[in-house]
Amino acid sequence: MANVLVLAEVSGDKVKSVTFEILGKLAGHTVDVAAFGEVPAAAVAELAKYGAANVHSIKGLDNYSPEGYTNSLKDFISSKSYDYVFAGATSLGKDLLPRVAGAFDAGMASEVTNFTMDGGAFAGTRPMFSGKCLAKVEITGPKPHFVSVRPNALGMPENATAGAGAASEVSANAGEIRAMIKEIIKGASEKLDLTEANIIVSGGRAMKSADNFKILNELADVVGATVGASRAAVDSGFAAPSMQVGQTGKTVAPTLYIACGISGAIQHLAGMRTSKVIVAINTDPDAPIFTKADYGIVGDLFQIVPLLTEEFKKVLA
């Protein structure tokens, strides 16, 4: 049985769901959770429900600092005897975890989509070459070993094993900080980030204009989705770069991905091919997206998407 630390991201009372996915896969092991800043009682209770033995709040830094977070987390981990440190492959996780692994001169497996811990030894699976193949990965060398997990890849645990959830506060040494984020300006949208969204509705160049994305927003509002875009739509100025899905954008793995007017270039498929169910809407019956879609609709998205919106309203009512 391995001694494991999971790094959680907490915003208000909410914990990013990838943390619960990781905790579910680590059932049977001693698992602590650490988070920077205040961890409210509601979040502690939720983490305990999914198996956290201890929940540590690392205090001292209000906003993210690459150097400060790295030094603080290294200091905290050094004070314990963890075999593995897990985190979600989020924007923060992708930036922070490799830094901490480098500080320990330790091995790391990035963006795994599945793993086992049989006998306390990590064995993972991660996509390579834009998802064209899956590699089996292990980590050697000194411990702790570091692992980042792609959000939505594991799925939420169905039968969670509760842990004690003992809460504590830790003052870790942030060391010398040469660059600090002074302010974070929240975006206007309250929707989940694309990497965390369970349902995504994406538009391509066929959307024709930024104004036309309102029909995707209307569908997204009905089904509780986040709106994405292809690189062609972003390059055409129809959508913001933060909405881009693909090899040069965000890699997503939602339960449902609805591609509207997206041809299915290999760069786009690289970012969404691990979606559980893919629905494609396109006027071209030979569009490459149909080779990857579970369900395809050949037709004009400007006619089909509003019809889908109305039907979903009826069903969900």
183 belongs to a structural domain: no
Contacts of residue 166, defined as CB under 8 A and 6 or more positions apart, other chains included, come to 53, 54, 55
163 belongs to a structural domain: yes
The number of angstroms, rounded, from the C-alpha of 313 to the middle of its chain's C-alpha atoms is 28
Specify the residue for token string 């001694």.
3
H or E element that contains 171? strand 166-171
181 belongs to a structural domain: no
Surface-to-core class of residue 311, CB atoms within 10 Å of its CB (0-12 exposed, 13-18 middle, 19+ buried): exposed
pLDDT over 90 (residue 97)? yes
Q: What is the pLDDT of residue 290?
A: 96
Domain that holds residue 227: 199-316
Dist CA 19 CA 47 (whole Å): 8
Total domains, the chain: 2
- One domain, residues 32 and 94: yes
- Confidence label for 35 from pLDDT (cuts 50, 70 and 90): very high
Surface-to-core class of residue 66, CB atoms within 10 Å of its CB (0-12 exposed, 13-18 middle, 19+ buried): middle
- The tens digit of pLDDT for each residue in 212-269 reads 999 999 999 999 999 999 999 999 999 999 999 998 899 999 999 999 999 999 999 9
For the chain, the average pLDDT equals 91
- One domain, residues 152 and 270: no
- One domain, residues 166 and 207: no
Domain-ending residue, one of 171, 190, 212: 171
- One domain, residues 224 and 275: yes
- The tens digit of pLDDT for each residue in 258-315 reads 999 999 999 999 999 889 999 999 999 999 999 999 999 999 999 999 999 999 999 9
DSSP 12: T
**22-36, 145-159, 179-193: segment of lowest average pLDDT:** 179-193
pTM of the model: 0.83
- The tens digit of pLDDT for each residue in 155-214 reads 888 877 788 888 898 888 888 888 777 777 776 666 788 988 999 999 999 999 999 999
Residue 223, number of CB atoms within 10 A of its CB: 17
Q: What is the pLDDT of residue 2?
A: 81
Dist CA 134 CA 132 (whole Å): 7
Q: Residue 183 carries which side chain, given as an amino acid letter?
A: E
Residue among 47, 122, 10, 32 nearest 80 (CA): 32
- One domain, residues 80 and 116: yes
- One domain, residues 165 and 34: yes
